[in-house]
Chain A
Amino acid sequence: AQTVTQSQPEMSVQEAETVTLSCTYDTSESDYYLFWYKQPPSRQMILVIRQEAYKQQNATENRFSVNFQKAAKSFSLKISDSQLGDAAMYFCAYRSAPNSGYALNFGKGTSLLVTP
């Protein structure tokens, strides 16, 4: 199974500032998808952004963007203009191959605190 590593258990950012969450993964596949999910205290899993490995252009969704470095197997999430509502647990995930039912492999998560 592919391994997803989030090396920052906790991060803190001030409101309106920018923060970057790190994620690395291990795979031998050439085509795959990567995701960032947000889990607020409500427990709901919310898709923030996705990246297709064969696309060189980094994905962007409003204030959220990724830095995808395929050779380095790195997939970091940048949150710009941080808001209090961004406080949550963030999970990086890798979508597995068809023979594993396209299941998601998750990192252990990064807890993001946003301070006023």
Chain B
Amino acid sequence: NAGVTQTPKFRVLKTGQSMTLLCAQDMNHEYMYWYRQDPGMGLRLIHYSVGEGTTAKGEVPDGYNVSRLKKQNFLLGLESAAPSQTSVYFCAGAAIGGTEAFFGQGTRLTVV
């Protein structure tokens, strides 16, 4: 039972490069979320999805895109990475009617 799995766990990018973070869940979660965590800022919501084929903006969506083509996967894309996107990224999932969000182990991204 893998739960919520993020790939990769670490990544270093150069400014202007693009990349995709993958979040995969095997818990049949309807809702999925991408957060970023910065020192002294807590976790802030980037984008979320309430079901397959749906996405919506969170608190800090600029510079990111997402897709939910399959229920079990939620992808976070950076088209042109900037140093301000250096952060730890967390994916989470939750079930309809559920009260708990389950988090992945996080991805530490450094943009130089």
B42 touches A103 (CB 8 A): no
A109 touches B90 (CB 8 A): no
**Interface residues of B, dominant DSSP:** strand
* Interchain CB contact (< 8 A) of A103 among B41, B45, B90, B99: B45
Q: Does A78 contact B (CB under 8 A)?
A: no
Q: Which residues of A contact B (CB under 8 A)?
A: 1, 4, 6, 9, 33, 43-45, 47, 50, 52, 91, 95, 100-109
Considering only CB atoms and an 8 Å cut-off, how many residues of chain B contact the other chain? 25
Task: Encode contact with A along B91-112: 1 for CB under 8 Å, 0 otherwise.
Answer: 0101000011101011000000
Cβ < 8 Å to A, chain B residues 18-52: 31, 33, 35, 40-45, 48-50
B33 touches A101 (CB 8 A): yes
Distance (whole angstroms) from the CB of B88 to the closest CB of chain A: 7
A9 touches B49 (CB 8 A): no
If A101-B33, A103-B33 touch, whether A108 touches B42 (CB-CB below 8 Å) is yes
Closest residue to B43 on the A side, CB-wise? A106
| Sample of 22 A–B contacts (CB below 8 Å) | A4-B42, A6-B42, A43-B88, A43-B106, A44-B103, A44-B105, A45-B90, A45-B92, A47-B100, A50-B100, A91-B43, A102-B31, A103-B31, A103-B58, A104-B33, A104-B45, A104-B101, A106-B35, A106-B43, A107-B42, A108-B41, A109-B42
Q: Given the complex of chains A and B, what is the CA–CA distance between A50 and B59 in angstroms?
A: 23
* Interchain CB contact (< 8 A) of A33 among B33, B40, B99: B99
